[in-house]
Amino acid sequence: MLNVDIRFCEASDLPELLELNALSPYPWSESVIRADFSEALRPLSYLGAFSFLDDRLLGYAVLGTEAKEALLMNLNVQSDFRRRGVGLQLVAAVAECATALGFSNLALRVRESNMPALALYCLLGFRRTGTALHYYSNGESALLLSAELPLEIPSLE
């Protein structure tokens, strides 16, 4: 597993975040990213965790904490760093924050065709709780997943 530095987002991270988002197979609109990013700079509404290796942004996770449950809103890792433990470390970091904030479970939505993400979430103990039909703009459905906190993080070394 690639060992990376995880930290919370700072205002200076926005340009790199926009660049990484644009490289995603399913990028969010720039206006949504900017709005979520500004929320992530405010305490206790959204939390943005960023993964770095030698000051290079490798990935990010966005955790929404305004509702009754914690929601992993977005997870994105640079394509050449996927399947190297970066996503796992990001999910672990936001799950730890959600636990510290008193949440008992972590929910998320994932494209039903996103097999690598589904494999990661299954490894972390997420279970399917439902389906949101035609959730995405292209008509694809989202699987609703949830896991009890704290997560049991497997060792991948």
Residues 6+ apart with CB under 8 A from 126: 106, 108, 145, 146, 147
> Which tens digits make up the pLDDT trace of 99-142?
998 999 999 999 999 999 999 999 999 999 999 999 999 999 99
Domains with residue ranges and CATH for the chain:
5-148 (3.40.630.30)
Confidence of residue 32 (pLDDT cuts 50, 70, 90): confident
User: What's the token pair of residue 64?
Assistant: 């929404």
Q: What is the pTM of this model?
A: 0.86
